Amino acid sequence: MKIKQLMTGVMIIAGVSLLLGKTSAQPLTSKTQTMETNSVHYQNIKANGLNIFYREAGPKDAPTVLLLHGYPTSSHMFRNLIPILSKQYHVIAPDLPGFGYSDAPAHDQFAYTFDNLANTMEAFIDELGLKRFAIYIFDYGAPTGLRLAVANPEKITGIISQNGNAYEEGLSTGWNPIQKYWQNPTQENRDALRGFVENTVTRFQYFEGVSDPSLIAPETYTLDQHFLDRPGNAEIQLDLMYDYRTNVALYPKFQAYFRQYQPKLLAVWGNKDPYFLPAGAEAYKRDNKNAIVKFYNTGHFALETNVKEIGQDILTFLAGLPK
């Protein structure tokens, strides 16, 4: 009797184990696949002769979103947005030359102009084989990305502009010292801008206009300042500040692109940005009937304080784009 009971118990345990094995195998595989899809991959690729670092996440067969950062940051600024978007979209966020973990050759060895940043990003999208994508443009990423759009209108499914300016009325008086350098590019006027690459101004860009400073992660401005403090990097940034004048000169061309192609566009704007005013966001609607403008009660780096809200608005916008 005991032997019979023991055998029955063994058979029950074996059956349960077999049943558990069958039922748990599929969910485990599914979970693994989900984790891999939603993971952020940190990669490098050669473009325009430079090593370009980029973050990539999401299913590669999904519609692509190209995230272009601004000054003085890197793709690190998208660390909280990428997980929101990558559940449904293929997300790519490169570091521009001279920023983050991408190559930063000396300013006398590489022309730090916005034309050359755009040329490098053109080579980058070609190397990755990107045929159709939406672009997220912010700060320096705006004139870089809009150059891409003008040169490749057939590739652009939509534009998200987060404090990415394309209109003169969007420039605040904070640009006055830089404009003085544009008008009279003396060494004295160049040296007067060196404070822009120092810690005080870096922190100012993150905190100005923010109602709750405790939302600003300290690693943001700390990492940005680390890269700004690299030997020779100040000259790189001063070259780009001088070349920014070419972006303003191109504003009419960017605006003509909006009028001709009417790309679906979402402007998500921190309304207390000390450098790019809300008027620059509103101006998009003047040339593009497909422009949607949304303001958030925050400053320049709006993703630091409003990423969940902005992320949801972007997902709603992306859902309406052509594939």
Measured between alpha carbons, how far is 303 from 290 in angstroms, rounded to an integer?
23
Measured between alpha carbons, how far is 271 from 274 in angstroms, rounded to an integer?
9
For the sheet with 291-296, list strands across it.
41-47, 50-57, 90-94, 64-68, 133-137, 156-161, 265-270, 291-296
Measured between alpha carbons, how far is 119 from 117 in angstroms, rounded to an integer?
5
Residue among 67, 261, 290, 292 nearest 151 (CA) = 261
Residue among 155, 199, 192 nearest 321 (CA) = 155
Residues found in the chain:
323
Catalytic residue (one of 76, 90, 107, 300): 300
8 Å CB contact between 233 and 104: yes
Amino acid at 89: Y
Task: Count other Cβ atoms within 10 Å, centred on residue 19.
Answer: 10
Q: Is the peptide bond before 72 cis (omega within 30 degrees of 0)?
A: yes
Q: Which residues contact 317 (CB under 8 A, 6 or more apart)?
A: 158, 160, 264, 266, 292
Is 76 catalytic? The answer is: no
Measured between alpha carbons, how far is 275 from 72 in angstroms, rounded to an integer?
13
Positions marked active-site: 300
